[in-house]
Structure 1
Amino acid sequence: MAMLACAASLVLTVAACGSDDQSAATSSSSPVSDVFTPPNLTETATEAAGCPTAAPAPGGKPEWTLSGGTGSVAVTGSTDDTAPLVTVTPPFSVTETQVHTLKAGDGPVVADTATVQVCYMGVNGRDGTVFDSSYERGAPAEFPLTGVVPGFQKAIAGQKIGSTVAVAMTPADGYPEGQPAAGIEKGDSLVFAIKVLNATT
């Protein structure tokens, strides 16, 4: 629950995770999720709104590529049947948070104080490892945008429901002091691929 709102588990609780006083809980089954999940974050598994777990077909063209201050990243968003693909040429870092809409949804615009339901994958730019993923768990996460790390909020607020989005965030917008339980070190830039399933105000 520390910095990234602990990114939905890690990612989503960024805002909640933004505070160093919050203690991180770990679990042998999904330590990253437990670490990043704020008290008010829930994961819901429903057949209608699950997160696809299948890997995308090889050889597809990325929907977004970004050269960083160091390294680069290529992102292919999720589909109804497949999880996203985030490929990092490490070490990848950015000096300014970058948000890219991979596919715009057709629902209402998400307010910056909304409670959202999302599927997400978080990747560490330093080494390209996935540190948290609701796609791997097959269940979306639900949390208030006021309780996640700033980069996660910047990625989702203003998007339309149904959108798939990618964000490359600076350490300041993620976990400035790192999040050891998730393998995030001080100074790591993070990349998230997100699908916005729903939002309520």
Structure 2
Amino acid sequence: MLRKSSILLSVAAASVLLVTGCSSDTGTDDATPSSLEITRPSPTMDGGVCPDNDPPAGTQPQWQIDGATGSLAVAGSTATAGPMIKVTAPLTVDETTVKTLAPGTGQEITDDSAVNVCYEGVNGRDGQAFDSSYQRGKPVRLRPDSVVPGFRKALLGQRVGASVAVVMTPADGYPQGTPDGSIKSGDSIVFVLKIMAAERDASDAS
């Protein structure tokens, strides 16, 4: 699958996509925080680059998994290229699985973190990308408690600098699908992401 031929959402649609369908066990509602105060603001939180080049030919997968149907092979992004995500469609899974492709060494991610993330999302039904910050060239800033449950599971406990892959059940993604129809009810989806930076919510500062 070539990333440059992926079907992408607009920036606005992508923002809605990531915060749709929060799980009921997080104790939060579905509303996106209208603003987020960041302690110790730094240039890193406002910058960072998601490389938009395709991975080189011959890139070897760092993780392979067989689903209930189909299969998945992924490799994380590098300093010069985005991730490799190869799906044998239709890929469906009965259990959400998170794989750390490369550990991070920075701050640990919690629900109180504001995180800069480079990511690409692929639909298991057809193997097509539906959203990619790598295509946009810069990270998205978000909170783990304001994204879909499977994405939250991929973030929590990781450290800044980590590359992570997650393949998630429909229940941990978008159980009713998305308004634009790019994800349908019953679709298992894949995200491969890199945590670029993180800061704590100012409300938790002592």
Scaled by the length of structure 1, the TM-score of the pair is 0.79
Report Cα offsets for 1:25-81 as digits up to 9, x if no partner: xxxxxxxxxxxxx56599x99996110001110112100101001000100100111
Task: Name the amino acid aligned to 1:181.
Answer: D
Q: How does 1:30-179 map onto structure 2 within 5 Å?
A: 38=32, 40=34, 49-179=48-178
- Classify 1:73/1:8 alpha carbon distance in 2 versus 1 (closer, same or farther; 3 Å): farther
| Counterpart-to-counterpart distance in 1, 2:159 and 2:13 | 22
Large movers: runs of 4+ above 3 Å: 7-14, 38-42, 44-48
| Counterpart-to-counterpart distance in 1, 2:72 and 2:12 | 21
Contact kept in structure 1, 2:55 and 2:81, CA below 8 Å: yes
Report Cα offsets for 1:93-126 as digits up to 9, x if no partner: 1111000000011112111331110000000000
Q: What runs of 5+ residues in structure 1 fail to find an aligned partner?
A: 1-6, 20-37
Aligned residue number for residue 196 of structure 1: 195
- Classify 1:148/1:41 alpha carbon distance in 2 versus 1 (closer, same or farther; 3 Å): farther
- Classify 1:198/1:86 alpha carbon distance in 2 versus 1 (closer, same or farther; 3 Å): same
Which region of structure 1 is more displaced relative to structure 2, 64-73 or 106-115?
A: 106-115
Task: Name the amino acid aligned to 2:133.
Answer: S
Contact kept in structure 2, 1:134 and 1:140, CA below 8 Å: yes
- Classify 1:159/1:41 alpha carbon distance in 2 versus 1 (closer, same or farther; 3 Å): farther
TM-superposed deviation, 1:82 = 0.5
| Counterpart-to-counterpart distance in 2, 1:8 and 1:77 | 25
Aligned residue number for residue 181 of structure 1: 180
| Counterpart-to-counterpart distance in 1, 2:63 and 2:147 | 24
Over the matched positions of the two proteins, sequence identity in percent amounts to: 46
Task: Name the amino acid aligned to 1:83.
Answer: G
CA RMSD of the aligned region, Å? Answer: 2.7
Q: What runs of 5+ residues in structure 2 fail to find an aligned partner?
A: 1-10, 23-31, 37-42, 201-206
Q: Residue 132 of structure 1: SS of its match in structure 2?
A: strand
| Counterpart-to-counterpart distance in 2, 1:163 and 1:136 | 20
Contact kept in structure 1, 2:116 and 2:196, CA below 8 Å: yes
How many residues in Structure 1 have an aligned counterpart in Structure 2? 176
